[in-house]
A and B are shown apart, each in its own frame.
Chain A
Amino acid sequence: MSDEQGADRFEQSTKRAFDDSVAALDAATLSRLTQARYRALEELKPARRRGWQWSLVPAGTLAATALVAWLTVWQAPPATEDSGLQAESLSDLELLLAEEDLEMLDEELDFYGWLEEQPEFAGADDSVG
C-alpha cells in the first residue's frame, strides 16, 4: 500500500470513528443541544416579541428594577413639583433594562476588516443628499 493510500485509509478510519462517537451521544446531551438550538433561534425574533424570559434575568437586575419602579410609581412627586426626578428615575430604569451588547467588545477586528475590503462594501458613499 502506498503512503497516499495509507493516508486515505487513515482519514476514512478517523472519520468513521468520529461519526460513531457522534452517534453514541447520550440522551441528556442531545436534549441540551436541542435547548441550545432553540435558545439561539430566539435571536431571530424581534426583541419586543421575545418576551420576558425571567429565568435569564439576573436576580439583582430584577431587584433593582423593582426598586426603581417603586421609586417612580409610589415615590413620584406630584406633577406640579420638579419632574426632573421622575425623568431621572425613568432613565435609570431604561439603563437597567437596556441590554448591553458586550459582545461588541469581543469582535474579531481583523475579520471585519477583511469584510470591509470585500467589493460589496468598498467605495460606500456616506454623503447625504
Chain B
Amino acid sequence: MELALGIAQREAGLDREGALDSGAAIEVFLREIEKRAYRIALMGVRDRDEALDVVQDAMIRLVRRYANRPSVEWPPLFYRILQNRIRDGQRRRTVRSRVLSFFGGTASDDERDPIVEAPAPRSEDPLVQVTADDAMQALEQALRLLPARQREAFSLRNFEGLDVAQTAVAMNCTEGSVKTHYSRAVHRLREKLAEHGEEHWNE
C-alpha cells in the first residue's frame, strides 16, 4: 500500500511528505509568473520577440543555477535575472539607435500580423476594452519617463507583488533604497498621469 502510494506520489511530482519535488515545484512557479514576467519584459524592451527571449533566458538561468535553492528564493532571483536581461536589451537598443542615426537610418519594427497579435477580448463591450488598453498605454508611457531604478521598483512591488525584502534582493540594493525608489515612482507617476488628464487612476 505504502509502495503504491509512494509511486503515485512520485508520478505526481510529490516527495515522500506529499510536497512537490523541486522539479514539479519550479514548473508550477514558472507557469505562474511567465505571463507577468513577459508583460514586464515587454514594457522594458518594447519588442515582442525580444521580450519572449528575455523571459526564456531568465527561466533557463533560474532552472540551471537555482532549481535547488529553497523555493522562497525563486521570485527575487528570477526577477533579478529578468531585470538584468531587460537592461541588456535596453542597452542594445540604445546602441543600435545611435549607430543607425549615425548612418542616417531609423530603426523600424518587423512586419507583424495584427490578427495574430490581437489580444483576446476580455470585455464584451469594445469601448471598455479600448479604454483599458488606452489606460495601460498611458501608464506604460509614464513608466518610461521614470529613472530605471524607480521603474524597476514599481514593476516589482506593484505589478509582481514582491515585498520590500524580495525587491531588495531582485534589485541588489537595500530595503531602504527600495522604499525610496518606489515612493518616488508612485509620486511621479501620479503627477505625470494627472498632467495628461488621467485622474481616474486615483478613483
Contacts and interface: CB of A to CB of B under 8 A. Distances in A.
Q: Chain A interface residue count: which class? A: 35 or more
B20 interface: no
A10 B136 CA distance: 13
Interface in B38-85: 38-39, 48, 52, 55-56, 59-64, 67, 80, 84
Classify the interface of chain B: helix, strand, loop or mixed: helix
B186 A11 contact: yes
B61 A103 contact: yes
B63 A43 contact: yes
Classify the interface of chain A: helix, strand, loop or mixed: helix
Contacts of A36: 34, 52, 55-56, 59
B180 interface: no
A44 B203 contact: no
A42 to B, nearest CB: 8
Contacts of B56: 36, 39-40
A124 interface: no
A102 to B, nearest CB: 12
Interface in A8-47: 9-11, 13-15, 17-18, 20-30, 32-34, 36-37, 39-41, 43-44
Nearest to B81: A108
Which of B39, B80, B118 has the most C-beta atoms of chain A within 10 angstroms of its own C-beta?
B39
A27 B120 contact: yes
Nearest to B160: A18
Given A24-B122, A111-B80, A10 B190 contact: yes
Interface in B110-125: 116-122
Interface string B156-185: 001101000000000010000000000000
Contacts of B117: 26, 28-29
A63 interface: no
B130 to A, nearest CB: 12
Contact of B172 (A26, A32, A37, A111): A111
Nearest to B138: A17
B34 A33 contact: yes
A17 B26 CA distance: 27
Contacts of B35: 22, 25, 30, 33
A44 B67 contact: yes
Given A13-B201, A41-B26, 17 more contacts: A7-B190, A13-B202, A14-B139, A18-B159, A21-B132, A21-B133, A22-B36, A25-B39, A26-B117, A29-B48, A30-B35, A33-B52, A36-B52, A43-B64, A103-B64, A111-B80, A111-B172
